[in-house]
Structures are given as structure tokens and as C-alpha cells.
């Protein structure tokens, strides 16, 4: 037979409401009583009914996480860390993919709004005006986007981009191409702004481009025509595709062109040459976003990035 909350209350010697609070608001229950109730519940095999608890507390203990492209190796570490944090806090995490489409973000937030307590939006493609409109529907935290009145977690890609261009300049590169990301990308704009601040370098912006290996491969011809000896790519996937495309054109990396990516994904470490890149704290961002969402804290937090030098950069010929 199914064990009920009344069975736990009877065996624990407490009122039904005390058992309910033990699971829905444990901070409101005396530590000794809470321990006794949880022990009895475990012994009896009791599991609280989430649907019933949602009707009582108004909280579903479900969260949504919306990413731009779940196939991009940048996102899985973030998703895994966010899920681990949610599970530790007794929440379930639902993950959805927009396939880089701004319209899909709005549809997914609307679909989630009645099923979750809040949403984490990672690298959103929608305009700030659209996001502000969505914020009225459901609490959310935004990763890698500044948004007025919303909790935001920023991976300081601008700092990383400066380090990357300064690294190329330090090797002697004076003409550097920036293979930009999608049109309207906040991250791409941050990278460009930071790269333009580095002295002694002529920056050639090539883009917008799809944030994929195919996008990088397609940009190879324009990089060759630019005469740049160094390249900063929007992300590692673009960098990997670019290296492949340059090879098809007879240009070696780093012999003829030095290439730096952004993200520090696993394929970049396995690539030949191993990719110099800007490491992004994706796991930390996932954990922090869930924490801010559960605590309902409206704050902006910036996480540090760092340059990882490998084999895809060298002094120009």
C-alpha cells in the first residue's frame, strides 16, 4: 500500500502539518523534529507528492533551462552543472534548445511559464525589449547578457578577448581578423568592443557568421583575402572550422595564420593543432544561475575568463 503523509505523522508522533513543513519549508521545523520525520519517512518509503505540494505552496520545484544550441559542446558542462545544483536543492530541471532562433525563446518561455518556478536563459538571441516582456511572465536569470532588472551571470568574454588579441600582438601580429558570431549576438559585440581596445593592432571584422564549424569554414576565404596573420574566432567551433577551411586553401596553422578560439571545449583540445583559446567558466555559470533563480536574487555577477595557450598560435613568418 502507498505510504501517506498521515502514516509518517502517526509514526513520528507529530501533526500532519509538521510533516508537510518538513518537506516544503524545512527551515521552519525544529532540527530534532525534522531529523525524526525524515528518518521515519525514509524507513517507511514515503515520497512527497510534488503535484499536491505545488497546490499547497504555489511552487512546482521545477526549473527551465533554455540554451541556444544543445549540440554545441559549450553547453553540456553548463547544463550538467545546473542540473546537479538543482537536484541538490530538490528541484527538477527541464532543458530546451532554441536552435539559435529568437522566436523559439519566446515560445519556450511561454510554454514553461505555468510549469516551472523560473527559467535560466543562456546566451539568448532575443532583443532586450522582448526579454523584458518575457520577464513579466516568469522569473528568470540570464547568462551572458546584460538585462535591466534581471539577475544576470556574465562570463567576462571581453576580458578574455583582450587577452587573446594582446597575445597575438605580443607574438608580432599587427593585422588581426575577428571572425564574428551571429548578428545581434551580445557576446559577439562584447568580443569586438574589447578587441578594438588593443593598441598596435589593425582589426578586420569578418561577419556575421554562423557560430558553427561550417560558419568558420565558410569564412576562410575572407580571412585569406584580408591579409591577416592572426585570427580571433567567435568560439572554438568557428575556430576549428576556420582551421579546416584555411587548410583547404593551402594555409597552415600556425605556420601561415595563427588562430585563437573562445570557450575551451573538448574538441579544441583534441584538434590538430591543439587550439589556443579563452576558457569560459561554464560550469560555474550554470551553478550560479540556478542558485540565483532559487533564491530569487536580482544581481549581476561576472565570472573571470582566462587565456589557454596551446599550439595554434606562433609568431608570423
Kindly list the distances between the CA atom of residue 315 and the CA atoms of 133, 170, 228, 240, in Å, as whole numbers in the listed order: 49, 9, 13, 20
Per-residue confidence (pLDDT) for residue 3, from 0 to 100: 82
In tens, the pLDDT along 106-157 reads 899 888 888 899 999 998 888 888 888 888 888 989 999 888 888 999 999 9
Q: Which CATH superfamily is domain 157-281 in?
A: Response regulator (3.40.50.2300)
| pTM (two decimals) | 0.81
Where are the CATH 3.40.50.2300 domain residues in the chain?
62-155+282-304, 157-281
What's the pLDDT at 59?
A: 64
pLDDT of residue 251: 97
Average confidence score pLDDT of the chain:
91
Encode pLDDT of 270-295 as tens digits: 999 999 999 999 999 999 999 999 98
In this predicted structure, the answer to whether residue 56 has a pLDDT above a threshold of 70 is: no
pLDDT for the residue 126 = 86
For position 1, what pLDDT does the model report?
A: 64
> Which residue shows C-alpha cell 511552487?
59
Q: Is the pLDDT of residue 267 over 70?
A: yes
Q: Select the more confidently predicted residue: 55 or 50.
A: 50
Check the CA dihedral 71-160-232-311 and report its sign: negative
Percent of the chain at pLDDT > 90 equals 68
Q: Which stretch of 19-23, 51-55, 148-152, 285-289 has the lowest confidence by average pLDDT?
A: 51-55
With cut-offs at 50, 70 and 90, classify the pLDDT of residue 57: low
Q: What confidence score (pLDDT) does residue 89 get?
A: 86
Q: pLDDT tens, 177-214?
A: 999 999 888 999 999 999 999 999 999 999 999 999 99
- Which part of the chain has CATH 1.10.260.40? 5-48
Q: Is the pLDDT of residue 315 over 60?
A: yes
Instruction: Determine the topology of domain 5-48 in CATH.
Output: 434 Repressor (Amino-terminal Domain) (1.10.260)
Assigned architecture for domain 62-155+282-304: 3-Layer(aba) Sandwich (3.40)
More confident residue, 32 or 60: 32
Q: Tens digit of pLDDT for each residue in 226-262? A: 999 999 999 999 999 999 999 999 999 999 999 999 9
The C-alpha cell at 231 is: 585570427
Average pLDDT over residues 84-111: 90
Give me the pLDDT at residue 47, please.
77
Residue 53, pLDDT > 60, answer no
pLDDT bracket for residue 51 (50, 70, 90): low
- What is d(CA 138, CA 118) in angstroms, rounded to the nearest whole number? 6
pLDDT value of position 210:
95
Tell how strand 300-303 and strand 258-263 pair up: unpaired
Amino acid at each position: 500500500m502507498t505510504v501517506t503523509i498521515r502514516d509518517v505523522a502517526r509514526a513520528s508522533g507529530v501533526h500532519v502539518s509538521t510533516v508537510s513543513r518538513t518537506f516544503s519549508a524545512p527551515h521552519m521545523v525544529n532540527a530534532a523534529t525534522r531529523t525524526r520525520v525524515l528518518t521515519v519517512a525514509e524507513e517507511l518509503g514515503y515520497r512527497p507528492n510534488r503535484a499536491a505540494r505545488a497546490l499547497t505552496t504555489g511552487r512546482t520545484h521545477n526549473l527551465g533551462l533554455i540554451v541556444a544550441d544543445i549540440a554545441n559542446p559549450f553547453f553540456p558542462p553548463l547544463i550538467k552543472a545546473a542540473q546537479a545544483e538543482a537536484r541538490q536543492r530538490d528541484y527538477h530541471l527541464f532543458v530546451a534548445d532554441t536552435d539559435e532562433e529568437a522566436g523559439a525563446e519566446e515560445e519556450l518561455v511561454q510554454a514553461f511559464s505555468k510549469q516551472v518556478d523560473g527559467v535560466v536563459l543562456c546566451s539568448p538571441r532575443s532583443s532586450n525589449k522582448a526579454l523584458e516582456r518575457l520577464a513579466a511572465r516568469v522569473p528568470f536569470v540570464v547568462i551572458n547578457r546584460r538585462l535591466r532588472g534581471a539577475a544576470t551571470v556574465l562570463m567576462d568574454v571581453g576580458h578574455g578577448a583582450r587577452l587573446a588579441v594582446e597575445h597575438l600582438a605580443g607574438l608580432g601580429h599587427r593585422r588581426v581578423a575577428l571572425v564574428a558570431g551571429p548578428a545581434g549576438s551580445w557576446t559577439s559585440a562584447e568580443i569586438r568592443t574589447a578587441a578594438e581596445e588593443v593598441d598596435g593592432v589593425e582589426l578586420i571584422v569578418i561577419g556575421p557568421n554562423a557560430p558553427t564549424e561550417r560558419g568558420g569554414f565558410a569564412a576562410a576565404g575572407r580571412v585569406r583575402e584580408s591579409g591577416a596573420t592572426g585570427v580571433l574566432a567567435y568560439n572554438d567551433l568557428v575556430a576549428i572550422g576556420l582551421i579546416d577551411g584555411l587548410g583547404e586553401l593551402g594555409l597552415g596553422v600556425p605556420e601561415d595564420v595563427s588562430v585563437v578560439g573562445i570557450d575551451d571545449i573538448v574538441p579544441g583540445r583534441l584538434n590538430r593543432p591543439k587550439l589556443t583559446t579563452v576558457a569560459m567558466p561554464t560550469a560555474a555559470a550554470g551553478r550560479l544561475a540556478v542558485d540565483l533563480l532559487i533564491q530569487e536574487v536580482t544581481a549581476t555577477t561576472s565570472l573571470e575568463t582566462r587565456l589557454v595557450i596551446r599550439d595554434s598560435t606562433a609568431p608570423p613568418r
